[in-house]
C-alpha cells in the first residue's frame, strides 16, 4: 500500500529543530519488498509498529545525505507535521526511488507505517508476473473486504514508467533519426571528397608507383587524408557536444553529459565510419596503372 504527498518535517539536529520540505509516504509493511526497494540500514516496518507503540519512520538515502551526512541516521528523531503529528524515531534507511520520473533527482523522503497513520486514499501494489490474470482476483478481494470501496484505476508499473518517459523517448528518437541522417551525409561527403582528391592526384599516384611505392603505401596515404578529416570533425564534434549536452540533460538518465566513455566511444565510431568511407577510393588509388597515370592529364 502507498499514499504519498509533499509535507513539512522537522529534524532534531541535537541543539535545535529545523523544518524542511520533504516527501512523506504512508506505506504498508511489505511495500519495500514488493517494489524491491533495498533496505540499506536498520530494519523494515513490523507488525508491532502499531498505533500504540513508539512512532517510527524510515528515510531514504537522499534524506540522509542532506540532513545526516556526518552522523548515523538510526535512532535520530524526525517530526512529521502532516496528520498525525508525531515525533518519530528513524529505524531504517532505504534506497532512493525516482518518484517523479527517471530524470528527476530523488527528493528527501520519509516513510511512515500505515498502522500508525491510516489513510482512506491508498494505492494497492501487487507484485505478479501476469497482471491480467491477477486483476479479477484483486477486485474480488477488495469487494469482499468492503463492497462499497471503489477501485479508481488499475495499471502496471511498466505502463506508468512508459508514460513518464514517453516525451523524452520521443525527443530521443527524433535526435537519433537526425543523427543517423547526419552520419549518412557525412559518409557520403567524406567519400566524395576523398574520391575527388584521388582523381585529381592520379598523375601523382602514378609517379609514386613508378618510383617504387607499394600498394600499402598508397592506401595508407589515402586513408591518412581521411583520418585527418575525421580527426578535425571529431574534435569539432566533441567541442560542440560539451557545449550542447547541458541543454539535453533532461534526455539523459543516469548518464553524465560529459561522460568520457560515451564521448570516446562515439569518437572511435565516427572515425571508423570515416575510414570505411575512404576505403573504396583508397582501393581505387592502389590499383592505378603507372603507365596510364603518367599519361593522365
Segment 11-23 mean pLDDT: 67
pLDDT at 271 over 90: no
Listed range (81-85, 114-118, 162-166, 261-265) with the worst mean pLDDT: 81-85
> Checking DSSP bridges between strand 86-94 and strand 56-60, what pairing results, if any?
parallel
> How big, in percent rounded to 5, are the helix, strand and coil portions of the chain?
50, 15, 35
Q: Give the CA angle between residues 262, 264, 266 to the nearest 5°.
A: 65
Residue 39 has what pLDDT?
92
| Average model confidence (pLDDT) across the chain | 78
Listed range (177-181, 255-259, 263-267) with the worst mean pLDDT: 255-259
- Counting Cα atoms < 13 Å in the Cβ hemisphere of 293 gives 21
Q: Please give the helix or strand (H or E) that residue 281 lies within, else none.
A: helix 260-286
Mind listing the pLDDT tens digit for each residue in 146-157?
877 777 778 777
Peptide bond into 195 cis (omega under 30): no
pLDDT at 113 over 70: yes
pLDDT at 66 over 90: no
Mind listing the pLDDT tens digit for each residue in 191-246?
888 778 777 777 777 777 777 777 777 778 888 877 887 888 888 877 877 777 66
> Rounded to the nearest 5°, which phi and psi values hold at 87?
-90, 110
Q: Which of the pair, 13 or 111, is modelled with greater confidence?
A: 111
Residue 249 has what pLDDT?
64
For 141-158, the three-class secondary structure string (H helix, E strand, C coil) is HHHHHCCCCCCCCCCCHH
Q: Which of the pair, 46 or 226, is modelled with greater confidence?
A: 46
* Best mean pLDDT range from 57-71, 77-91, 222-236: 57-71
CA distances (Å), origin 177, targets 138, 184, 217, 227, 233:
43, 11, 38, 25, 20
pLDDT band at 247 (very low <50, low <70, confident <90, very high): low
Residue 104 has what pLDDT?
66
Report H helices in 47-130: 61-67
Give the Cα separation of 180 and 175 in Å (integer): 8
Q: Is residue 25 within 8 Å of residue 110, measured between CB atoms?
A: yes
pLDDT band at 93 (very low <50, low <70, confident <90, very high): very high
Give the Cα separation of 23 and 9 in Å (integer): 9
Residue 192 has what pLDDT?
83
pLDDT at 26 over 90: no
Closest CA to 2 of 157, 122, 111: 122
Residue 150 has what pLDDT?
76
Radius of gyration of the chain, Cα coordinates, nearest whole angstrom = 32
State what percent of residues in the chain have pLDDT above 70: 83
Residue 293 has what pLDDT?
53
Residue 225 has what pLDDT?
79
Closest CA to 154 of 167, 168, 142: 142
pLDDT at 72 over 70: yes
Residue 94 has what pLDDT?
93
Residue 12 has what pLDDT?
61
Amino acid at each position: 500500500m502507498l499514499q504519498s504527498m509533499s509535507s513539512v518535517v522537522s529534524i532534531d539536529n541535537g541543539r535545535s529543530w529545523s523544518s524542511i520540505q520533504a516527501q512523506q509516504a504512508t506505506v504498508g509493511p511489505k511495500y519495500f519488498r514488493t517494489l524491491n526497494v533495498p533496505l540499506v540500514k536498520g530494519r523494515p516496518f513490523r507488525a508491532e509498529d502499531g498505533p500504540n507503540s513508539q512512532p517510527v519512520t524510515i528515510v531514504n538515502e537522499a534524506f540522509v545525505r542532506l540532513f545526516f551526512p556526518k552522523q548515523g541516521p538510526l535512532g535520530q528523531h524526525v517530526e512529521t507535521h502532516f496528520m498525525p503529528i508525531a515525533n518519530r524515531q528513524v529505524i531504517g534507511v532505504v534506497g532512493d526511488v525516482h518518484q517523479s520520473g527517471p530524470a528527476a533527482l530523488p527528493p528527501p523522503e520519509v516513510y511512515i507505517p500505515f498502522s500508525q497513520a491510516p489513510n482512506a486514499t491508498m494505492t494497492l501494489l501487487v507484485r505478479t508476473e501476469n497482471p491480467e490474470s491477477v486483476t479479477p482476483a484483486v477486485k474480488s478481494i477488495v469487494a469482499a473486504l468492503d463492497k462499497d470501496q471503489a477501485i479508481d484505476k488499475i495499471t502496471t508499473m511498466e505502463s506508468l514508467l512508459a508514460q513518464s518517459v514517453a516525451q523524452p523517448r520521443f525527443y530521443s528518437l527524433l535526435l537519433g533519426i537526425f543523427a543517423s541522417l547526419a552520419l549518412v551525409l557525412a559518409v557520403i561527403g567524406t567519400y566524395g571528397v576523398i574520391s575527388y582528391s584521388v582523381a585529381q592526384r592520379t598523375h601523382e599516384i602514378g609517379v609514386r608507383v613508378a618510383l617504387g611505392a607499394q600498394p600499402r603505401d598508397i592506401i595508407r596515404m589515402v586513408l591518412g587524408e581521411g583520418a585527418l578529416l575525421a580527426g578535425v570533425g571529431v574534435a569539432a564534434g566533441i567541442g560542440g557536444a560539451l557545449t550542447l549536452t547541458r541543454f539535453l540533460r533532461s534526455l539523459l538518465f543516469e548518464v553524465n553529459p560529459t561522460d568520457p566513455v560515451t564521448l570516446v566511444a562515439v569518437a572511435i565510431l565516427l572515425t571508423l565510419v570515416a575510414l570505411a568511407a575512404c576505403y573504396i577510393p583508397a582501393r581505387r588509388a592502389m590499383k592505378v596503372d603507372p603507365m596510364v597515370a603518367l599519361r593522365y592529364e
